[in-house]
Amino acid sequence: MSDTLFPTLFSPLQVGDITLKNRIFSSGHDTVMVHDGAVTDQLVEYHRARAAGGAGLIIMQVAGIHETARYTYHVLMATDDSCIEGYRRVADAVHEHGCALFGQVFHPGREIMESQDGALPVAYAPSAVPNERFRVMPRPMSQAMIAEVVAGYAAGARRLQQAGLDGVEIVASHGYLPAQFLNPELNLRTDQYGGNLDNRMRFLREIISAVREAVGPGFAVGVRVSGIEHSSPEEEQEPTDIVEVCRRLDAVGSLDFLNITEGTSASRSGSLHIVPPMSEEAAYTAPAAA
State the catalytic residue, choosing from 124, 176, 193, 284: 176
Cα(26)–Cα(101) distance, integer angstroms: 10
Residues contacting 198, CB < 8 A, separation 6+:
248
Sequence letter at residue 119: A
174 backbone φψ class: left, alpha, beta (φ>0; ψ -120 to 50): left
- Respond yes or no: is residue 176 known to be catalytic: yes
| Half-sphere exposure for 11 (CA within 13 Å, toward CB) | 5
SS3 category, 228:
strand
Residues contacting 112, CB < 8 A, separation 6+:
71, 121, 122, 123, 134, 136
Q: Which residues pair with 182 in a beta bridge?
A: none
Which residues are identified as catalytic?
Answer: 176
